[in-house]
Chain A
Amino acid sequence: MAQRIVVIGGGAAGIGAAGAAKAVDAAADIRVYTEFEDVGYSPCGIPYVHGKEIPDFERLFLATKEAYAGQGIDIHYETRATGFDTGRKVVSVAGEGEVGYDKLIVATGFDYADPGVPGTGLGGLYYVKNIRRAMEWDKVLDGVRTAVVVEASPLGLEMVTALCHRGIQTHLIDPGAWALSVATDPDIVAPVQDSWREKGAELHFGTTLTGFLGDGSGSVRAVATSAGEIACDLAVVCTKKQASTGLARAAGVRTGSADGIIVDERMHTSVPDVWAAGDCIEVPHSVTDIPVQGLSGSHAYAQGKVAGTNAAGGQRRYQPVSVPWGMVAGDWMIGGVSFSETLATALGIPHVTGVAEGISRARYYPGVEKVRVKLLADPKTLRLIGAQMVGREGIKERADFLAMAVRTGITVGELATMENVYSPPIGALNEPIALAAQNLLSGLGS
């Protein structure tokens, strides 16, 4: 008899798991339960539709509902799983009763942290997540004159950029001293902030949200902050992504110190025949072993494939993460790996740094741009532990490369003598990563 694999959640992790499980066991009965109208789309692309870089939301769908059905994946849309019993191996599903499973994959994703201030029930507060709601909000944006973006998280940076592109007067409020202060350093994000100001945005750092103020008819008219009121027609709430673990915890699945579901390298949880993947789990950081949660869509999808493969009877492992990241913000690309100086300092991780400003192409080639690279290394071993970069091209590729460098224990000494592609349109004679490594070693007297 075919094994039944139930997946709770239809995001990147859930769909990755369902597809991988089907690939391992074509005969398996695979059911996906999602509370939403759609699965398998890229929510990461939503800010770029709002900003008009992507012309329509339809491009964000990775496959049609018919395609999933054709693959033999039975997806139950707008159907909420309300709990599961790991002893009897059943999932409680609204409108369907109890559904038995042989293997269960929990991919319940994240919720935005509650701002914890008065006024969160007002209209005009936008939480970017669901594509159907995003389509509705995109029409609302046509009539918005002034917007406030609450918190300079990665989504916050993208939404500030998108709203500026839309011609909306945009305010950013954040309690940190600069944008994305948890993950970046001020020298890296400074060009981004300058480009936002050039587009007319107003940045309010060191400013804490204290409430949303209504207009008397139930809609937001302003945000209240520690520095006063800011009038607005719309507030985009970009608070921290918290693991959605309610169902798992109620079923007795253990969670960890990062508040995510505890999993091993096969995405197996503390309960037999239950796997988990995506934003609802925590995974160890490759340098510190400290668990981290709330990574990117690519992490969630890869984790889902591992969970699905193993749940279906295959063998696949996941690695501790080095967290390469990158994004377009303002007129710049920023990115990095693992730690910024700020985060390493906050955690008290010993480190030495080296910085260089290089170029992205031959200096005489049209379109050449500056690339600033900062490397962080362990003072004793000189192994790379982190990096930060800003430029107008070539950031993503460098972040990916440096993530592998962190993962495999490459030292700054090896980076200082790395080979690099030199071709006038695509690469400079001196690679900025190598320059930063050389500067770090020079600073040590090496």
Chain B
Amino acid sequence: MIAAQEKIAAKYGVTPPPRPRGRDIFWLRVYVPAYRAVPWPVRSAVMRRLPGSHRMTWTRTQRP
């Protein structure tokens, strides 16, 4: 979220979040680039494999 705020803040010319400190440096400078490097379909598939209500039966109204 901090990484996203940095990007969106730059787009809209507003003050970004503070520079990361401590553990946040790992998340921002290592995890986020690695996360973004993985294609969305792969990330989405991994998220959908996690346990949760989304894996139960749900009937949708959305058109195919």
Chain A interfacial positions (CB closer than 8 Å to B): 175-178, 181-182, 185-187, 190, 205-206, 226, 254, 256-258, 260, 262-265, 281-286, 288-291, 317, 319-320, 341-343, 345-346, 348-350, 407-409
Q: How many residues on the B side are at the interface (Cβ–Cβ under 8 A)? A: 36
Contact partners of B17 in chain A: CB under 8 A: 175-177, 205-206
With contacts A407-B61, A409-B62, A409-B63 taken as known, whether A348 is within 8 angstroms of B40 at the C-beta atoms is yes
Residue of B nearest to A410 (CB): B63
With contacts A181-B1, A186-B9 taken as known, whether A262 is within 8 angstroms of B53 at the C-beta atoms is yes
Interface members, chain B 33-60 (any A CB < 8 Å): 35-36, 38, 40, 43-44, 47-48, 50-60
Residue of A nearest to B3 (CB): A346
Contact partners of A175 in chain B: CB under 8 A: 17
Name, among B56, B59, B61, the residue most crowded by chain A CB atoms within 10 Å (CB to CB).
B56
> How far is it, in angstroms, between the C-alpha of A263 and the C-alpha of B52 when the chains are bound?
8
With contacts A177-B16, A186-B14, A264-B57 taken as known, whether A342 is within 8 angstroms of B5 at the C-beta atoms is yes
Residue of A nearest to B19 (CB): A206
Name, among B1, B5, B61, the residue most crowded by chain A CB atoms within 10 Å (CB to CB).
B5
Given contacts A317-B59, A345-B8, 18 further A-B contacts (CB under 8 A): A175-B17, A181-B5, A187-B12, A226-B18, A257-B52, A265-B57, A281-B53, A283-B53, A289-B48, A290-B54, A319-B58, A319-B60, A341-B8, A342-B8, A343-B4, A346-B3, A407-B61, A409-B63
Residue of A nearest to B52 (CB): A256
Residue of A nearest to B48 (CB): A289
Contact partners of B12 in chain A: CB under 8 A: 185-187
Instruction: Pick from A177, A260, A282: contact of B5, CB below 8 A.
Output: A177
Contact partners of A178 in chain B: CB under 8 A: 5, 14
> How far is it, in angstroms, between the C-alpha of A185 and the C-alpha of B10 when the chains are bound?
12
Contact partners of A283 in chain B: CB under 8 A: 53
Shortest beta-carbon distance from B14 to chain A in Å: 4
Query: Would you call A349 and B14 a contact (CB within 8 A)?
Result: no
Instruction: Pick from A177, A187, A291, A349: contact of B15, CB below 8 A.
Output: A177
> How far is it, in angstroms, between the C-alpha of A385 and the C-alpha of B36 when the chains are bound?
19
Query: Would you call B47 and A290 a contact (CB within 8 A)?
Result: yes
Does B29 touch A at the CB level, under 8 Å? no
10 residue pairs of the A-B complex, CB under 8 angstroms, read A175-B17, A177-B17, A186-B8, A226-B18, A256-B51, A284-B53, A284-B54, A320-B60, A342-B8, A348-B38
Residue of B nearest to A281 (CB): B53
Contact partners of A290 in chain B: CB under 8 A: 47-48, 52, 54
Residue of B nearest to A187 (CB): B12
Query: Would you call B56 and A182 a contact (CB within 8 A)?
Result: no
With contacts A205-B15, A320-B60, A409-B62 taken as known, whether A291 is within 8 angstroms of B5 at the C-beta atoms is no
> How far is it, in angstroms, between the C-alpha of A186 and the C-alpha of B44 when the chains are bound?
26
Query: Would you call B52 and A291 a contact (CB within 8 A)?
Result: yes
> How far is it, in angstroms, between the C-alpha of A93 and the C-alpha of B4 when the chains are bound?
46
> How far is it, in angstroms, between the C-alpha of A344 and the C-alpha of B18 when the chains are bound?
21
Contact partners of A284 in chain B: CB under 8 A: 52-54, 58
Contact partners of B55 in chain A: CB under 8 A: 262
Contact partners of A289 in chain B: CB under 8 A: 44, 47-48, 54
